[in-house]
Amino acid sequence: MSHRPIIDAGPGLNFFSINKERLLIGTLGPLCAPETVRNELLRKSRQDCRFQNAERVWNRLSERYMQVLSDDITPELAAAVHRITRLPIQERLRHSKDLGETMVIAHAVVAAEAGDEVIVLIDDGPGARIAKTEANRLRLLRVGGTPVGALRLVSTLTVLEKAAGGDHIPDRSAMRTIYARLRQLDDGLPPLETTKLLSAAVWP
């Protein structure tokens, strides 16, 4: 069974701040985010003027397009957080650094272990590596006959590549404009020329 894609705060802040929520949702479908991610997104939107538009966009998204996942402690969520971080969930929740992406991965793991196919949208390097590790663990469980679902990692680059040639990014010029705006918000994104977003493979 398919589960809504679960997004981290970084990509949410970036797309929402430049009013490209329709691009994001149109590409991945209706989304969800843990409470921790919602809180982080709203906090950064209020603290950094570059992201001030993100809160307005978030507040106008109905539950049809964005659901908030409860971070209330359950045995399944606690087990996932402990395996990912080697810390009890109560202790991990007291430290805000990288907490959003930890909860994104933990929620995705819980859903996948229940049989769902789950996409996670994370750009951060360490978070992406953890998500890949969990995806491989789930794959090995399936190979061994355990009836679990799957976890798939996507990034901002994945979203843009998938949207290329569609209504939201109709041509390379639009891609350049959108990517330049995103890079102004996120210096972790590589230079456009080093990606394949302008390549013939993306624009057949």
Domains of the chain from N-terminus onward:
6-156 (3.40.50.1010)
Q: What integer is the mean pLDDT of 178-189?
A: 95
- The pLDDT value given to residue 115: 95
Q: What integer is the mean pLDDT of 118-132?
A: 93
Instruction: Provide the mean pLDDT of the chain.
Output: 95
Cβ atoms of residues 16 and 57 within 8 Å: yes
DSSP string, 118-167: EEEE---HHHHHHHHHHHHHHHHHHHTT----EEEEE-HHHHHHHHBTSS
- The pLDDT value given to residue 111: 97
- The pLDDT value given to residue 98: 83
pLDDT greater than 80 at residue 1: no
CA–CA dist 136, 150 (Å, integer): 9
pLDDT digits (tens, 9 = 90+) for 149-171: 999 999 999 999 999 999 999 99
